[in-house]
Amino acid sequence: MKMQLNLLLILVSCSLLVSCTTAKLLDASFEADAVNGLPDKTLPGDPTGDEITYDAVIEPQLKVQNSTIAGSKSLHFTNVAIGNPPASQRFLKFKGASTDLSKTVWFMYAAQNINPGMDVFVDVGDGYSAAIARLRIEPNGTASIVAASDYTVYHTLGNIGTGVHTVVFTTSLASKTFNITIFRESGPALKAENRPFIQQDHTQFHNPARPTITFQHQGTTSLHTYALGFVSITKEKPKNMP
């Protein structure tokens, strides 16, 4: 059922997502990774230059597993205890190949929230220091986005529950706005449009940039798993997206 859902959403493979051209900036499916192992940071195949980055301290939290979220495997990001490292060492980053950020960029991933116990933050940015958007997923399934540059105000989108969900950020540096769409297993998609970038100073964005989507658990002692079926960044609009 989950596999059928994600095929229907046209967000599983390159052949369905976008045409397999240089429009791709990052393509992570975990299909070539060994079960129970760490993900390959170098992301073999096209495009060239995309990568996964994380500090060695969070390696105990990362494990490739058999899955039906999107393909046959997923990357489990589980919030097991790893001591108390600084926040800067707790990020799981997917960095796209270098590109002209003035063009529209789509950030996409499919995931499932398993045994949720604490918040998950999903951040989109230029790969350096300029923030575009943040999605917060709470243990009760509430999904919301940052609505203020100081990260103190959130705009609620709705509830994703604990089922498979597919998230699409559409970003435009020209207007400094983004759209977000979250497809759920049941019910209508959750949407917000023309939301302002967190960073509104155009000069703070690197160009060329390394478009990046980052995942981070909050807290340190939960067995909460955020399982990623795929992560993709592209300059070409996904098919069947409105």
| C-alpha dist (Å) from residue 200 to 101, 150, 171 | 14, 12, 13
For residue 13, name the pLDDT band (cuts at 50, 70, 90): very low
Percent of the chain with pLDDT over 90: 80
C-alpha 64/C-alpha 38 separation (Å) is 6
Give bridge partners of residue 177 from the DSSP assignment.
Answer: 172, 196
Helix (H) or strand (E) segment spanning residue 4: helix 2-8
pLDDT tops 70 at residue 80: yes
pLDDT tops 50 at residue 17: no
Q: What's the chain's average pLDDT? A: 90
pLDDT tops 80 at residue 21: no
pLDDT tops 50 at residue 187: yes
Return the CATH number at 101.
2.60.120.200
The answer to whether position 154 is within a domain reads: yes
The answer to whether position 112 is within a domain reads: yes
pLDDT tops 90 at residue 225: yes
- pTM comes to 0.91
pLDDT tops 80 at residue 18: no
The answer to whether position 140 is within a domain reads: yes
pLDDT tops 70 at residue 221: no
The answer to whether position 242 is within a domain reads: no
The answer to whether position 127 is within a domain reads: yes
For residue 196, name the pLDDT band (cuts at 50, 70, 90): very high
The answer to whether position 241 is within a domain reads: no
Domain that holds residue 220: 2-234
User: What pLDDT, on the 0 to 100 scale, is given for residue 240?
Assistant: 65
User: What pLDDT, on the 0 to 100 scale, is given for residue 9?
Assistant: 44
User: What pLDDT, on the 0 to 100 scale, is given for residue 84?
Assistant: 87
The answer to whether position 239 is within a domain reads: no
- Ramachandran area for residue 14 (φ above 0: left; ψ -120 to 50: alpha; else beta): alpha
The answer to whether position 110 is within a domain reads: yes
Q: How many domains does the chain have?
A: 1
pLDDT tops 50 at residue 22: yes
